[in-house]
Amino acid sequence: MEKIKILLVESIHPVAKEKLEEEGFEVELKNYSPDEDELTELVKNFHALGIRSKTLVTKKILASHSHLYAVGAFCIGTNQVELVAANQLGVPVFNAPYSNTRSVAEMVIAELVILARQLGDRNTLAHSGGWMKSADGSREIRGKTLGIVGYGHIGSQVSVLAESMGLKVVYYDIVKRLPLGNAQVCSTFSELLGLSDFVTLHVPETPQTKDMMGASELRKMKQGAYLINASRGTVVVIEDLVKALKEKHIAGAAVDVFPEEPSSNKEKFSSLLQGIPNVFLTPHIGGSTEEAQYAIGLEVAESFRRFLKVGSTSGAVNFPQVDLPVIAGAHRIINVHKNEPGVLGEINGVVSKFGANIQGQFLSTDNRIGYLVMDVEKAEASSLSKEISQLSRSIKTRVVY
């Protein structure tokens, strides 16, 4: 078996290297984001590539070396990878979509108190020599109603934490979600808006959620209620929020995500929300904690282990999903092929020519490719794999154990 080498760029948390080395992989870390030409050159020496959000993984890079087996995005999004090209070239792409759930939920809980007590403004004033000691407009969050829009991973965590601080929780989701604790479901978005002292948004970016919080929704919120958005910048119409805040219909807002965000810390940030009282702005840091980075490092390293050693593709964002246990005493061959009629017959023809006894065969497909996992008894797995790899419609073939 060849020694699998993994390249991790962009200062991925060192726990990933540690875990992968424990599994016997050879790992090289780079603390910057190589450009396309450099990465094309670098990848030639590796079987798997780990990146974060800045490194672009183009078709050129993916096609540069047939021994590139997998890409791991050690972050949430995967827009930086040409996913269709990766799929067609037989390269699954893994990410860690839920490793920062708790980080976002904790920030939202903090923001409930920050808004209710105007802590942002008082902090800014105190730093510049002001002293605003007054109880006017300062409230406890205990006993207030929190409306959660999108009761998925983050929304449901916020729900549990908020109840433990004495809030009443209502939620709205387009999918039927089991209420946690004493949370109560609302049958419409409007119902939630009318009931809540705080509204927090935890929906994904979809055509349906674009501008879902605009002038008419803000008007349906209670007079003096607060809005929190740590989901996606496209969900709230900023101009309408500015108007509702200036008219004092909304008493404050905490916003972590914006329709346009600087692409680096060096770029200037500007928003119509700047300078409005009790508006707490943060630079898309809801999920950015050391714990989340650590969890991401562990999660993607585990996806690499499972794919490279077992052939499991579960969790890959661009690939047919297969998750099978290890079969003792067998060898496992994985084959990615073009999803065309007759291709399986060809592969099985090779298997019978070899007289290999198949212990298990599992196929999962999408409209472009098929992913075949074969457990064979005979020790000739590597020559069988070599012959299958030479079939014209095979894209990638490898013996995993």
HEC-encoded secondary structure of 64-96: CCCCCCEEEECCCCCCCECHHHHHHCCCCEECC
Reply yes or no on whether 232 is catalytic.
yes
Nearer to ligand NAI, 98 or 354 (CB): 98
Q: How far is the CB of 89 from ligand NAI (least distance, A)?
A: 27
Strands 331-338 and 394-399 come out as antiparallel
The residue to which tokens 């060096």 are assigned: 266
- Residue 256 binds ligand NAI (CB under 6 A): yes
Question: Among 360, 350, 332, which residue's Cα sits nearest to residue 389?
Answer: 350
How many of the other CB atoms lie within 10 Å of CB of 265?
Answer: 7
Q: Choose, by CB under 6 A, the member of 173, 217, 299, 375 that binds ligand NAI.
A: 173
CA 236/CA 227 separation, integer angstroms:
10
Nearer to ligand NAI, 194 or 362 (CB): 194
Q: How far is the CB of 390 from ligand NAI (least distance, A)?
A: 42
Nearer to ligand NAI, 105 or 351 (CB): 105
Nearer to ligand NAI, 89 or 161 (CB): 161
CA 347/CA 338 separation, integer angstroms:
12
Q: How far is the CB of 158 from ligand NAI (least distance, A)?
A: 9
Q: How far is the CB of 131 from ligand NAI (least distance, A)?
A: 33
Whether the Cβ atoms of residue 254 and residue 61 lie closer than 8 Å to each other: no
- Residue 155 binds ligand NAI (CB under 6 A): yes
The one segment of 47-55, 83-91, 137-145, 229-237 that binds ligand NAI by CB under 6 A: 229-237
Whether the Cβ atoms of residue 286 and residue 261 lie closer than 8 Å to each other: no
- Residue 202 binds ligand NAI (CB under 6 A): yes
Q: What is the end-to-end Cα distance of the chain in Å, rounded?
A: 8
Binding site for ligand NAI (CB under 6 A): 76, 98, 100-101, 104, 149-155, 172-175, 177, 202-206, 208-209, 212, 230-232, 256-257, 284, 286-287
- Please give the positions annotated as active site: 232, 261, 284
